[in-house]
Amino acid sequence: MKNYKNASKHIAVLAFPFGTHATPLLNITRRLSEAAPSLVFSFLSTEQSNAVTFPNGEKVDKIQPFNVWDGLPEGFRFKGDPHEPVEYFLKAAPENFMKAMDVVVAETGKPIDCLLVDAFLWFSVDIAADLNVPWMALWTAGPRALYVHVDTSFIRQHVGINDTLEKPLDFIEDFSSLSVADLPDGIVNGKFEAPVQALLDKLEQVIPQATAIAANSYEYLDNQVVNMLKSRFRNFLNVGETHRKKLPEGFLERTSLKGKIVPWAPQQKVLQHEAVGVFVTHGGWNSVLESITGGVPMIFRPFFGDQGLNTKTVEAVWGFGLGLEGGMFTKEATVKALKVILSSDEGKKMREKIAVQKELAFKAVEPNGSSVENFKKLVEIMSSS
């Protein structure tokens, strides 16, 4: 392959092929390939994930997709449990990624010089050690979520089995407005053996081994937490199939005059439209960032993972969003939240606060901005390692 023959370094990019994880990993890989023309990238993910990430066989200069087996047994049928395919994938992933990289090296004739991975793939640190190459991780959630996952042992020491969910996290700097209830599952409660919780439990041991950690955020948003992470890691750098079938029968028809449901929409562009006054969201980190860059306050209904932590952080620490009362969609709770944000002095203050963060977010990506400088450092580390 021509690109590989002339490249100074070959970077293997290992994706976690579930949810929206592969997209930010490809985005940063694109940026790296543009900023460092001498590097070439092999993007490894499952066939299904690659088909979505590289639609219609899309060609990206100096980025070549390769398929990794998803681990599903022959004849597997999805029964509605989203954890099941994740569990199959993770059980087979270490061996499957090794086999796939052997294929990559054989086909390209270029040894692998560095691993850039989704931080969820904790086992890849051992692969990097076997290959004697640098291991760099992308963390796609927010800084607070990373902090609680790398400080799990410390948190467990301070939260006893008899402590209530309302116990404040005042033993962690800048977390006093949050409580035990806001922690993601698997820290002190929840299904510890669930596949995603189990892999996150490994982060405390493996993340400190990273040559660099790239985070999907910007310096000004959570500066105190970011500084704590920087003090602990070598290089912590802020670089800034639909489930529609599970809807009740006839749901789309019954609600067609009240709203619109689509498998996908250009969320970032929608949020930057001047007509949008509030964003009702599950609280995923990408959605939080896109709402900030749109200057739109949020109403939250979190479901799992870091979404509860993001909800309480936006509401209690940053002050430009609200969680639904009772944590559920009801007419009363939704109307109450809408009135607060759209028609009250409190809502006006939220819009003012998020407008400040919007300005800071864009400042971070200006020439010499913090995200730009952090990205330059990431390129330098990757090119020289």
- Annotated catalytic sites, by residue? 21, 118
Nearest to 170 by CA among 183, 185, 186, 158: 158
Rounded CA-CA distance 176/127 in Å is 38
One DSSP character per residue, 48-86 reads: HHHHHHSGGG--BTTEEEEEE---PPTT----S-THHHH
Mention every residue, 6+ apart, whose C-beta is less than 8 A from residue 173: 224, 228
Place of tokens 């681990």: 71
- Residue pair 112/133 in contact (Cβ under 8 Å)? The answer is yes
Rounded CA-CA distance 375/371 in Å is 6
The CA–CA distances, whole Å, from 89 to 83, 96, 153, 287 equal 10, 9, 27, 26
- Residue pair 234/210 in contact (Cβ under 8 Å)? The answer is yes
Amino acid at 189: N
- Residue pair 337/322 in contact (Cβ under 8 Å)? The answer is yes
Rounded CA-CA distance 304/145 in Å is 12
Going through the chain in order, the beta strands assigned E by DSSP cover: 9-14, 39-46, 63-68, 114-118, 135-139, 212-215, 236-238, 279-281, 298-300, 321-323
- Alpha-carbon Rg for the chain, nearest whole angstrom, is 21
CA angle 269, 270, 276 (to 5 degrees): 135
Place of tokens 């490809």: 26
Rounded CA-CA distance 120/304 in Å is 16
Work out the angle between the directed axes of helices 345-364 and 285-294 (0-180°, nearest 10).
Answer: 100
Place of tokens 């310096």: 219
Rounded CA-CA distance 1/50 in Å is 20
